A = this chain, B = another copy of it.
Amino acid sequence: MHESLFEKKFSLLKAWESPESIHHFLTTHAQSTRAILCSSVTPITAEILSLLPSLCVIACENTGVELIDLMECRKRGIYVTNAGPAFSQDVADMAVGLLLAVAMRIPASDRYIRARGWSDHQCFPPRTFKLRGKHVGIVGFGNIGSEVAKRLEAFGCKISYNSRKQKPSIPYEFYPQVIDLAYNCNVLIICCALTDQTRHMINRDVLKSLGENGIIVNVGRGPIIHEQELVTSLMSREIAGAGLDVFDNEPNVPNELFELDNVVLTPHRGAFTEEVFSNAFKLTMANLEAFFSNKPLITAIKQYD
Determine if A124 is an interface residue (Cβ-Cβ < 8 Å): yes
- CB of A130 within 8 A of CB of B276, answer yes
- CB of A265 within 8 A of CB of B93, answer no
Determine if A30 is an interface residue (Cβ-Cβ < 8 Å): no
State in angstroms the CA–CA spacing of A251 and B112 once bound together: 12
Residues of B within 8 A of A264 (CB): 106, 110
- CB of A113 within 8 A of CB of B266, answer yes
CB distance from A91 to the nearest CB of B (A): 11
Determine if A100 is an interface residue (Cβ-Cβ < 8 Å): yes
Residues of B within 8 A of A131 (CB): 89-90, 93
- CB of A106 within 8 A of CB of B266, answer yes
- CB of A127 within 8 A of CB of B97, answer no
State in angstroms the CA–CA spacing of A251 and B114 once bound together: 12
CB distance from A275 to the nearest CB of B (A): 5
Which of A89, A90, A129, A131 has the most chain B CB atoms inside 10 A of its CB? A131
Within 231-290 of A, Cβ neighbours of B (below 8 Å) are at 250-253, 258, 264-267, 269, 272-276
Asked whether A126 and B89 contact (CB < 8 A) given A100-B100, A151-B154, the answer is no
CB < 8 Å: which of B109, B130, B153 contacts A90? B130
State in angstroms the CA–CA spacing of A97 and B269 once bound together: 17
Nearest to A154 among chain B residues (CB) is: B154
State in angstroms the CA–CA spacing of A98 and B98 once bound together: 11
State in angstroms the CA–CA spacing of A280 and B192 once bound together: 39
- CB of A273 within 8 A of CB of B106, answer no
Determine if A104 is an interface residue (Cβ-Cβ < 8 Å): yes
Residues of B within 8 A of A103 (CB): 93, 97
Residues of B within 8 A of A127 (CB): 90, 269, 272-273
Asked whether A275 and B106 contact (CB < 8 A) given A100-B96, A114-B265, the answer is no
Interchain Cβ contacts under 8 Å between A and B, 17 examples: A89-B131, A89-B132, A90-B132, A93-B103, A93-B132, A96-B155, A100-B101, A101-B106, A109-B265, A109-B269, A114-B265, A118-B267, A119-B252, A121-B251, A126-B272, A126-B274, A130-B275
